[in-house]
Structure 1
Amino acid sequence: MTQRFERLNEEKVFKDPVHRYIHVRDRLIWDLIGTAEFQRLRRIRQLGTTFLTFHGAEHSRFGHSLGVYEIARQVINIFKNRNDWDDSETLLSLCAALLHDVGHGPFSHSFEKVFGTDHEQYTQAIILGDTEIHRLLEQAGGDFPQKVADVIGKTYKNRLVVSLISSQIDADRMDYLLRDAYFTGVSYGHFDMERIWRVMRPCNDQIVFKLSGMHAVEDYIMSRYQMYWQVYFHPVTRSAEVVLTKILHRAKVLYQSGFRFRHQPVPLRTLFEGKMTLQDYLRLDEAVIMYFFQVWQEEDDPILSDLCSRFMNRRLFKYVQISKDQLNVDDKLKEAFIKAGIDPDYYLEVDSSSDCPYDFYRPGEEEERLPIQLLMPDGKTLHELSLESDVVGAITGKRRTDHKLYYPKDKVLALPEHSIAKKEICELLHI
């Protein structure tokens, strides 16, 4: 046994608004929390641009990661008390729960969209690369970092460990629903988590739920559905993401065309050049990105300056609802924008939101979805959730999709009254 399996002399706790306290007794967990790579998560918001919609949504991926660890710890303890858990997998499971989001970048999904990065790949790179986290994990055994990366990558041989942090009802989702509901101030995301814990059972290499707890599981599914449409897909949040994406894209185009910035984006150079190292990536956080958005308001490029001003001062794009048939922006609309001196590449964007609240694997589909299984009263038979629940059955496999066209209404309305382009745009957008 190495020193990394040591227990702390006394338990450390973090006061948490969702779980009340987060408990740490393992020295490895305590030391991982103290690494530079994990502390960086304090500087990355959990909900990206949502703070521009719900002003309380300033919480970080640091708090969420601690929360996922705490839920995994609680569930493991319940399993242990029932003699349903292999204790040799405990530390591995707790490390994977803690580190599952360590590879997120600033404004994660918008950032990934522009630069083609993948936070899951970076999470594994941080765990396996030249980092403080890797050196600590290595002291718990030479193959331990790879095992943690495999759990997060969903390739670890013990599927029960994987399902604890990655399934349709797991520690990750349970924490972010409750945490995001708390910090946005909405009531949609609440469900009886402790009841769900009590009806969880390990079975056939996966986590299943006693039939008697079906209504708590239904409540969780519906909470997730409501949070996606009321919070995660909120049109103002999506507008902010559109503007953010356009800023990053414009800055990249300008840099690659040799534009002379007044405020050179030194930390972003390797990113724009496609040569970013892991250490370059780890130096990026939202404070760095926001600094450049602030100073780029003064740049000579009118598009970059305007977009940055919009983001920093919350003068976001408005939207019109469109149908699936209108997904390709009308050429007439693009031409009218060009005629009006408004670049459609930066001021017109179709954004689609899509979610399926619950589904299970169907032959021929690429995405594997492990169904939520209910354990029948005989303690042996399993029934897939939608077969027992009328509520879940009604929404199973039902994908809801929403399309919006975002544009700068203020720019359009500021055009001269006699402008033909203004008249065309207003007619096409029904302003």
Structure 2
Amino acid sequence: MVTGNRKLEEEKVFKDPVHRYIHVRDELIWDLIGTKEFQRLRRIRQLGTTFLTFHGAEHTRFNHSLGVYEIMRRIIDVFEGRPHWSDDERLLCLSAALLHDIGHGPFSHSFEKVFDTDHEWWTRKIIVSDTEVNHVLRRMGEDFPQKVADVIEKTYPNKLVVSLISSQIDADRMDYLQRDAFYTGVSYGHFDMERILRVMRPTEEQAVIKYTGMHAVEDYIMSRYQMYWQVYFHPVTRSAEVILSKILQRVKMLRLEGYSFKQFPHHFEGFFEDNLPLSEYLKLDESVVMFYFHCWTEEEDPILRDLCTRFMNRRLFKYVEFDQDFVMNDWMKLQELFLEVGIHPDYYLVIDSSSDLPYDFYRPGEEEERIPIHLLMPDRKLRELSRESDIVEAISGKKRTDHKLYYPAEWLDTPGHEREKQQIKDILQAHPGKREPGL
């Protein structure tokens, strides 16, 4: 077996619409890209159901993973020869950046909720198990795959290395904000990454930003805030996500009830049994899932048939926004009315909540400890970003949450049960929310 790493005789280059070029000089990285586990990411979209809202959002986890690798490569170029940086960590950082999302499945977050699984667990499993990825990594030593898994799991002892791939300003976020903005066609996610990379400096605990780069970091944080609310939490995308989740829930329920499928979901069997081998998980991609959804548009079960037809033909639910008073006063009544008119509330009356914390300072004891961004001041001391930036201070620690109620509005205009349907409309119209015209 080949051991160690060699420089490629000729540098490999990927043409990339976001970073212009992605450069590969190491045989280790080139061979990792060629593994079947990494190539599988070509068949999994980066943004799940977002393509039903922004039609350009067809980019994949493969695109994004290469982008994170490239940003990490550029950060290491800046760090080379500086205090607190060891070149011994270079290949570890590059490998972790490239492989950080390798465990994602099709429409990852919906599958995770319905089947109680976790893409980060699968990422570690792929890296440390008997896979092509593992065989390539072991050229660097028997313990190298575990080190890569530890970096991704945030348990690796070198905190600087972990921060480069998982912090409030890291290679992962810097790629997906720009990439998602490019492919969705929005202007929100753009910021001066080149400037941030030029002023990024290694310390013992984390990467910090020179004070002169503060305004570029402000722009980055505002870009992130806007992308979450304008793209990631877009109500039309969330509607598609709701329907996708309900399809999976319905399939799971029908399977438990012994329903006779015209197209049995063989690829989901391991999820149903809570015993999915890695080899079976790696066979799942979005083309497989879409095949089943397409077949299920002709199932006998009316709920599964309708939900799959909605997803495949983009016949999405409408929504209203609401507050906690609605849940206390109207939620139970709405469910009763839906049952009276023959609409199953478990599948057609769905509460969906979105929340985001765009930036936070250090809060000891928090369940998810967020390492704040630090500025390197002219006197070489570190200052937490929100202490210097009025813009960041204004949004620091402020968690925004939206609640929406999704339902099939067109069914309320069909003949029958007119009185009950009017009652439903009256309740919903008391919470009209905001609607995006044309989407």
TM class, shorter-chain normalised?
A: over 0.9
Q: Distance in 2 between matches of 1:200 and 1:2?
A: 35
Q: CA deviation at 1:265?
A: 1.1
Q: Secondary structure at the match of 1:142?
A: coil
Residue deviations 1:87-133 (CA, integer Å, cap 9, x gap): 11000100000000000010011111100110011100000112111
Q: Which residue is equivalent to 1:53?
A: 53
Q: Distance in 1 between matches of 2:318 and 2:33?
A: 41
Given residue 184 of structure 2, which amino acid in structure 1 is its aligned partner? T
CA contact (8 A) 2:354 2:402 kept: yes
CA contact (8 A) 1:256 1:273 kept: no
Q: Distance in 1 between matches of 2:287 and 2:231?
A: 23
Give the alignment of 1:151-230 within 5 angstroms. Answer: 151-230=151-230
Q: Distance in 2 between matches of 1:274 and 1:20?
A: 43
Output the TM-score relative to the length of structure 2: 0.96
Q: Distance in 2 between matches of 1:146 and 1:415?
A: 62
Q: Which residue is equivalent to 2:393?
A: 393
Q: Which residue is equivalent to 1:95?
A: 95
CA contact (8 A) 1:355 1:400 kept: yes
Residue deviations 1:20-53 (CA, integer Å, cap 9, x gap): 1100011111111011110010000000000000
Residue deviations 1:320-371 (CA, integer Å, cap 9, x gap): 0101333466111111100111000000111001001100221332111101
Given residue 144 of structure 1, which amino acid in structure 2 is its aligned partner? F
Q: CA deviation at 1:82?
A: 4.3
Given residue 218 of structure 1, which amino acid in structure 2 is its aligned partner? E
Q: Secondary structure at the match of 2:140?
A: coil
Work out the percentage of aligned pairs sharing the same amino acid. Answer: 68
Q: Which residue is equivalent to 1:364?
A: 365
Q: Distance in 2 between matches of 1:308 and 1:331?
A: 27
Matched, 1:342 2:343: yes
Q: CA deviation at 1:2?
A: 5.8
Q: Which residue is equivalent to 2:356?
A: 355
Q: Distance in 2 between matches of 1:255 and 1:425?
A: 32
Q: Secondary structure at the match of 1:351?
A: strand
Q: Which residue is equivalent to 1:421?
A: 420
Give the alignment of 1:306-385 within 5 angstroms. Answer: 306-327=306-327, 330-379=331-380, 381-385=381-385
Query: Greater CA deviation, 191-200 or 356-365?
Result: 356-365
Q: Which residue is equivalent to 2:256?
A: 256
Q: Distance in 1 between matches of 2:127 and 2:62?
A: 16
Q: Secondary structure at the match of 1:14?
A: strand
Q: Secondary structure at the match of 1:51?
A: helix
Q: CA deviation at 1:81?
A: 5.3
Q: Secondary structure at the match of 1:23?
A: strand
Change (3 A) 1:325 1:365: farther
Given residue 202 of structure 1, which amino acid in structure 2 is its aligned partner? P
Q: CA deviation at 1:426?
A: 1.1
Q: Distance in 2 between matches of 1:81 and 1:156?
A: 22
Residue deviations 1:4-33 (CA, integer Å, cap 9, x gap): 411111100111000011000111111110
CA contact (8 A) 1:247 1:307 kept: yes
Q: Distance in 2 between matches of 1:157 and 1:326?
A: 47
Q: Secondary structure at the match of 2:201?
A: strand
Q: Distance in 2 between matches of 1:403 and 1:415?
A: 30
Query: Greater CA deviation, 310-319 or 355-364?
Result: 355-364
Q: Which residue is equivalent to 1:140?
A: 140
Runs of 4+ in 1 over 4 A off after TM superposition: 81-84
Name structure 1 gaps, 5 residues minimum: none
Q: CA deviation at 1:215?
A: 0.2
Give the alignment of 1:240-279 within 5 angstroms. Answer: 240-279=240-279
Q: CA deviation at 1:429?
A: 1.1
Q: Distance in 2 between matches of 1:415 and 1:353?
A: 34
Residue deviations 1:162-184 (CA, integer Å, cap 9, x gap): 11111000000000000000000
Given residue 367 of structure 1, which amino acid in structure 2 is its aligned partner? E
Q: Which residue is equivalent to 1:106?
A: 106
Q: Secondary structure at the match of 1:367?
A: coil
Q: CA deviation at 1:135?
A: 1.1
Q: Distance in 2 between matches of 1:135 and 1:3?
A: 10
Q: Distance in 2 between matches of 1:70 and 1:285?
A: 25
Residue deviations 1:236-281 (CA, integer Å, cap 9, x gap): 0000000000000001110111100011111111212222111111
Output the TM-score relative to the length of structure 1: 0.97
Q: Secondary structure at the match of 1:25?
A: strand
Q: Distance in 2 between matches of 1:282 and 1:253?
A: 24
Q: Secondary structure at the match of 1:261?
A: coil
* CA-atom RMSD in angstroms: 1.3
CA contact (8 A) 2:5 2:139 kept: no
CA contact (8 A) 1:247 1:308 kept: yes
Residue deviations 1:67-86 (CA, integer Å, cap 9, x gap): 00000000101111546621
Q: Distance in 2 between matches of 1:198 and 1:327?
A: 50
Given residue 336 of structure 1, which amino acid in structure 2 is its aligned partner? L
Q: Distance in 1 between matches of 2:425 and 2:37?
A: 49
Q: Distance in 1 between matches of 2:24 and 2:70?
A: 9
Residue deviations 1:291-326 (CA, integer Å, cap 9, x gap): 000010000000000000000000000000101333
